[in-house]
Each structure stands twice: as structure tokens, then as C-alpha cells.
Amino acid sequence: MATEKVQATDFQDGDQTSNPKGQLTFDDKVIQKIVGYAIENVDGLLGVDGGFVANIRNKIVNSDNPTDGIEVEVGKEQVAVDLDIIMEYGHNAHDIYDQLKQVIAKQIKKITSLVLVELNVEVVDIQTQKEFNESQTTLQDRVSSASEKVKSKAAESGEKVKQNVQSMGEEGDRVR
């Protein structure tokens, strides 16, 4: 978790001058999300393994955790980032890396005033856009599938209850 001392400016409160002290910190998850949003439109980057880029586009690569594949180390003034990426076939890995450095450094500095001092990228897979799209399960697909399963189980249970009630009626009184 990053801790940054905030420079306080003097302000007047009646006759007393006050100089509050404190610090500004960033949870790792915040930096991971900034990185995820920053890299969303990098040309040739299909996803982050485990999936933030895919998750932003409402797709899951290998996980429901949107920060999988993005590791960060946050200091008081600096940030280091490790990414596991899936790159698109036909693109140059060095060009993708250069774009990642540029957009991540810019957004981290803009949002937090922290400096990106290290970016490690591991290409864990290379796919065509078509392969990548076919391998994706959208969040909507997962919700729809779960919804259908729940409906099906509820309908089955309802039928069992109806059958039990009908058989009770045929046998006579429920309570003897």
C-alpha cells in the first residue's frame, strides 16, 4: 500500500493558523484498476491473463477476479507493475511493451502522482483475434447460464411439490 505525505497549506481559522498533517495512501487494488483501465485500448493487446482487459470489455479470460494478471508493488512515491498478457498474432511485442509503458506511466502519474519505475511484461499467450473471441465466455453468458439452471431447478422442485400435494389428496387426510 502506498503512503504519500500530503503537503498541507496554512489556512486561517479565525486567528489561529492550522497546518493539518496526514498522509495519502493507495491500496494495491486501486493501482491495479488504474493499470487495467489504462491498457484497455493498447493495439495488439488481447487481454491480461486472468483478465482485466477482457473483464473491462465484459469478458472473462481465466478468472472472475478483474485484477488477476496484474501485480503491483506500491511505494510512497513509486509503483512497479508486472503484467501477464495475451498478445495478438501479427503485432510486435516490443511495440506493445512500449505502448504499455507509455499509457500506464501517464495514467498512474495523472491519477496518483506516483511514478512508474518498473514494468515487467510476460507474454503468456499469442492468439489471433478470432481465436481470442471464440475462447471468451462473456459475463452475460455466465449469468444467463446460471439463471437458466436456477429456473430449471425451481421448475423441477415445483413439479415435485405439486405431485406430493396431489398424492396426499388421493390418500386422504394429510394428518391422521
Residue range 115-130: mean pLDDT, rounded: 94
Cβ contacts of 31 within 8 Å, gap of 6 or more: 2, 72, 74, 79, 81, 108, 112, 114
Residue range 141-156: mean pLDDT, rounded: 71
Is the pLDDT score of 17 beyond 90?
no
What is the average pLDDT score of the chain? 78
Is the pLDDT score of 15 beyond 70?
no
Instruction: Write down the domain spans for the chain.
Output: 22-135, 139-176
How would CATH label the architecture of 22-135?
2-Layer Sandwich (3.30)
Cβ contacts of 44 within 8 Å, gap of 6 or more: 87, 88, 90, 91, 92, 95, 96, 99
Which of 15-29, 122-136, 162-176 comes out lowest in average pLDDT? 162-176
87 with 81: CB under 8 angstroms? Answer: no
* Residue whose C-alpha is closest to residue 101's, from 87, 81, 123: 81
Cα distance between residue 31 and residue 50, in whole Å: 17
Residue 132: per-residue pLDDT: 85
Note the pLDDT tens digit of each residue in 67-117: 668 999 999 999 999 999 999 999 999 999 999 999 999 999 999 999 999
Q: Give percent above pLDDT 70 in the chain.
A: 66
61 with 97: CB under 8 angstroms? Answer: no
Residue 79: per-residue pLDDT: 96
Cα distance between residue 41 and residue 163, in whole Å: 56
Q: Give percent above pLDDT 90 in the chain.
A: 45
- Residue 8 per-residue DSSP state: P
Is the pLDDT score of 145 beyond 80?
no
Note the pLDDT tens digit of each residue in 38-67: 998 999 999 887 654 544 443 334 445 556
73 with 80: CB under 8 angstroms? Answer: yes
Return the higher-pLDDT residue of 173 and 164: 164
